[in-house]
Chains A and B, each alone.
Chain A
C-alpha cells in the first residue's frame, strides 16, 4: 500500500489538518479531510519536497517556497515505501542519515582515530611547520620588531617621569662597556648585537628578537670573571641567532590555534584542559631552547678560546641569585640539573685559554665601575 496517514500544515495557519498521502509517479497526492466533512487534494512535485534532516519518531517533509507547507508522518513504513517508490531520489541529507544509522561503536572508533591523529599532528607536525614558518620571517622585520619591544621596555635615565610599563633604567656606562666586550668576541651571527645593561638588582638577562640583549646589573655584580660574562653573552646571542623568540611565539600560537580549531564547537571545560596542556608543552619547549642556547654558548667559548668553565660558574651564580626574588615573567632561564650537568660535562679540564688583553681590560673596567658605585 502506498497510502499513509498524515498531519498537514499549510504554512498560512498553525491549524492541524488530517489526511492521507499517496506516493504517485513524480508527485505525492495529498488528500485532506476538513472538519466540515469536505475533502480537498494537493499535489507535491517530487523535486520541491525537502525532508528535515533528523528523523525522530516523526518524518517531517517541507514543500515549496516560503512559507513552506509541512507534512508529518509517524508511520514507520513510510520511509521504506519512499525508498521503494523513488529509488533514485534523495530525500535525506546523506552524511547525517548515514551517521545516525551506524552503531555507536563506529563513532567511538572514529573518535579514537581522530584523537590519535590530532595528537600526532599537534606533537609532531605542527612544531615543525611552526618553526619553518618562523624561519621565513625576514631578518629586517625581526630586527624592527625587536627594537619596538625594546623601546617599550627600556627608558633612558632622564625620562624617568614618563616611566611606565617595565620601568627598566638603562645604565649608559655599563652598556657601552658591555658592547665593547661583545665586540671582542666572535659570535658567528648575522644579527647586530646590542647589549643594554639596566640598573636592577635582579639576577637575570634576556634576549629580544633581532639582537637586543638586556642584562640586569644584579647579575653583572655577582660575576667574578670575564668567562662568566662571555658565557652569558654566548647564551643570549644564541637565542637571537637561532630565532628562539620567534620560534617560541609561532609554536605557542600555532598550538593555540590548533586547539581552538579542534575544540571549536566543544565546551569550556575541554578547552581549558587542552589549553593548560598546551602551556605545559610550551614550557617544555622553552627548556629545549635553553639547552640549545647552552650548547651554542659552549661552542662560542671554545671558538673564542675563552675558559669553558664560565658556563658552569654562570649557572651557579644564577642558582644562588634566584632565591625567590625573580619576577616570574622574566624568568626565561629555568635552571635545571640537566643544564648544570651539561656545562660540567662539556667543559675542558686543564685548558689553557689564550689570554686576551683587550677583553680582560674591558672586564676590568666593568668590575671597577660596579665596585666604585656600590659604595
Chain B
C-alpha cells in the first residue's frame, strides 16, 4: 500500500495502524432501556432506573440498534452473525453504573468485512474490518466543577455504540484519515450513525506500532477517544515518531493506553503500566442470545440505500461524469441526495452540466458562505430551474452567474429574478441588429481596420455589442449577426 515512511537515524520505518471506531447508533432510545438518546439534555434527565443500575433493574435489547448494526455490516459486505450474544466487561468507574459494560466479546453481531478507501491521485486501497459489535456507552464525568469532587452525568450511559474494529491494514496517517472519512460516509449513507464527531457520535481508539519494512509487527499503543479526522492523523504521526525515537534510543515500546492532547498535538500515557486490566468478560446472564431470522435479515438488506461505491460507479458509467466529479458528488450522502434531486428535475441528460455547476458554482458559493449543502440557501429545485433557463437560452452563462448570486442573497426563484429584473437574454435579431448598426456607425475607424484585415477586432465589436445590450444578448446570435454586418 502506502510508501509512507518515517526516516529515522537507523533507516526507514513503516507505520502500522488499526482503528477501533466507536459510532453512536442512530436510535430514539438507548440500547437496553427506554430513555432518550438526544444530545445536550439536562444532566441525568435522560436516565432510566436501568441506566442508573438500580438494584433489580434488567436490560431489554432495543431492536432498532440490532437492525442498524446489521445494516452497517451489510454495507461493508461483512459476515452477519445470525447468532450473537452479549458479554459483560467488568471494571469500576463512576461513569459505569453497573460496574460492567454490556458488550460483545465472544460472539459479535458482525464479523469480517472490507472498506475500499480512495487515496490521493485516484488510487484505491482496501482496509479489512475485523468485526462490529454493539455495546453500551458510559456516562460523562465533569472534573472542573468542584475542587474536590467529580460530577457524574448518566445521560449517555447505555446509549448504543457500534465498535467497528479494523484490521491493522493502514500504513500512513493519510490512509487512516481516508478510512475514517469513508467509514463515516458509509455510516451516514446507511443512516446508522450521524457521524458527528464534534458531538462525540464518532470517535476512534488508534492503535499504532512501527517496524522496519518486512519485519513482524511491533508492540502497539492504543490512543483512546480521538474525536476528529485531523486529530487521528496527528495522533498517528506523533505516536509513530515517538515510537521510532524510543526504539532508536534503544528503548522498548510498552503496550499501553495513551491520550491525545489536541492542544499540544501530543500523546501521553494514560494509565500506569503496572495496573493490569482484567475485564473478566462472561456472557450476560440477564440476556438471551440474539438470534436473527431470515426475514429480519432480508428486511435489513432491502432497506439499504445505494452505497457510495455503487453510486460513484453509476455516476461515472451511467451518467458519464468524470472520476473527480463522481467522487466529490458521492462522498457525502447529503451531496448525492441534493445532486439527485437536481437531476430529477433537469433530467439525466443534463447530468454533466449539473455536475459541473454543483462542483464549481454551488460548492464555490457554499465555501464562500461557510455553509454545508444541507443548509444551502439555494434548493435543488431552484438550481434545476436555473440550469433549465441556461439550457433553453433564456440566460447566458454570465447572466446565470448574476442570477445565482441574487438567488444566494435573496432566496428567490431564478424565474422570478429574471422576470423582475429583466435579466432575460435576448435573441431578438431585430434589436441586436439595430444595436450593431449603431456600434458600426460609432466606430468607423475600427470598422475600416477590420475590413482591412485586422480580424482580431471582431472581439472588440462583440464586447461593444454585449455592453450596449447590458449583457443580455445571446452571444451566439451576436456573433452571427456581427459576422454578417461586418461582411
Partners in one complex: no
